[in-house]
A and B are shown apart, each in its own frame.
Chain A
Amino acid sequence: MSRTSNRADGDIVRDFLSVADLLEEPQLAQVYAYLAREEETTVQEVMDELELAQGTAYSYVNRLVEAGIVEMTNDGQPRRYTAREIDLTVTDADGREYTITPALIDAVGRRETDGDVDTYIDRHGVAGLATALTYAVARERGETTHRLMADDLDISPLAAEIILQALRPVVHEYYEIEVSGASLDAIEDRNAADDA
């Protein structure tokens, strides 16, 4: 496997192993993704937001801190935590290269709660999900369609549409996307005028 990072070699290996853990454990990925979305967070907030037991939440946050991908931002109580940026390019066993970003880790974490994400990872792996995420960003920007994705990846258009919809919340969380299309009011005003 190849990897790119600006930090020292020891850090790279440690980061890589901890990131690999994140992709294997959806709940851990969920915790990381939550910390990446929020500026600074307490364990209490993690527990409330993700509905985790206190022991579980502490254990996950501590593991992320030990792995060096989450850091404590104060010495007082309650302790506050923030996620460090991850941007790691890996090549999987099939030679497919993909980049591990907070958005991808968030997407992987959603397999806990979203059956469509879970099914897609079972069939296409995390590398496949990374590819789907790239299409999901392009689609929300009006740069591709679910049918082109289906053609490229040799999956059915329906399967493409389903995973694009499952990934849409991640895209809107991590990327700047403009609102497009008519509003409900515009449709109903115009439709009513037509019928008059």
Chain B
Amino acid sequence: MNSLHIADTGLFVAMGEPSNSRYKAIRRFARRNDITFVLPERVYEELTADVSDNRSPPVDIAIDEEWAAVAAPLKFSQPIVSRTMDGIQRYIANADDRPADEVEQADPALAALAAQHLSIGEATEVYIYTTDIAAGEGAEVVLASEGYGDSVMFVNGFRLIEDLRSDNS
């Protein structure tokens, strides 16, 4: 069985600098469970877009250390990928009470990447690590409607870090 671990911007912002205990806790977690966090391209771009303007999360260091990687572009030719994108846009629009076409494409990209890997059998279990609860819960709901209800787990990045810290104390 293969598992895929998809990480959103918030997880990397929350872990802070490599010298930080939160960063180290996540790295230990990744290594002991043999996990490589995969970032949708849009997420990687968000994290590295305006390095001069904001403190830049250390995603490149995690990639060098081989416990994070950037995903290949989404295959929109697969019907399930675009269906999932649409489904998540509708879910988030409904939660936020705004039109679906105003919902950004990067939110649905997390679940769409999951759908792509599940549908071609490259993964049998997918974990989505985000600090946007609407994106995480939306992914579980929409992928359940595609028949993958038992294969997707939303992980709240803050809760993970809190659990890891109390685990190590």
Tell me if A161 is interfacial: C-beta within 8 Å of chain B. Answer: yes
> Residues of B contacting A188 with CB < 8 Å?
33
Q: B160–A184 contact, CB under 8 A? A: yes
Q: For the complex, what is the distance from the CA of A187 to the CA of B106, rounded to whole Å?
A: 24
* Chain A 182-196 residues near chain B, CB threshold 8 A: 182-188, 190-192, 194-195
A170, chain B: closest CB distance, angstroms: 14
Q: For the complex, what is the distance from the CA of A146 to the CA of B47, rounded to whole Å?
A: 13
> Residues of B contacting A140 with CB < 8 Å?
133
* Given A158-B50, A158-B54, A195-B34, A165 contacting B13 (CB threshold 8 A): yes
Partner of B125, one of A168, A181, A194: A194
Q: For the complex, what is the distance from the CA of A157 to the CA of B12, rounded to whole Å?
A: 13
* Given A151-B104, A156-B50, A161-B13, A145 contacting B34 (CB threshold 8 A): no
> Residues of B contacting A84 with CB < 8 Å?
none
Q: For the complex, what is the distance from the CA of A150 to the CA of B167, rounded to whole Å?
A: 34
Q: A180–B35 contact, CB under 8 A? A: no
Cβ proximity bits B137-169 to A, threshold 8 Å, 1 near / 0 not: 100000000000000011110111001100100
B19, chain A: closest CB distance, angstroms: 16
> Residues of A contacting B13 with CB < 8 Å?
158, 161-162, 165
* Chain A 149-169 residues near chain B, CB threshold 8 A: 150-151, 156-159, 161-162, 164-165, 168
Tell me if A80 is interfacial: C-beta within 8 Å of chain B. Answer: no
In the complex, which residue of chain A has the Cβ closest to the Cβ of B124? A194
Interface size on A, residues (CB 8 A): 37
Q: For the complex, what is the distance from the CA of A121 to the CA of B102, rounded to whole Å?
A: 27
Q: A161–B159 contact, CB under 8 A? A: no
Q: B163–A184 contact, CB under 8 A? A: yes
Q: B10–A142 contact, CB under 8 A? A: no
Q: B10–A161 contact, CB under 8 A? A: yes
Partner of B127, one of A147, A168, A187, A195: A187
Q: A147–B133 contact, CB under 8 A? A: no
Q: A144–B3 contact, CB under 8 A? A: no
Sample (26) of A-B pairs whose CB atoms are under 8 Å apart: A140-B133, A142-B134, A143-B95, A143-B96, A146-B132, A148-B102, A148-B104, A150-B104, A156-B49, A156-B53, A157-B49, A158-B47, A159-B53, A162-B54, A164-B131, A180-B133, A181-B136, A181-B159, A181-B160, A182-B155, A183-B159, A184-B167, A187-B33, A188-B33, A191-B127, A195-B34
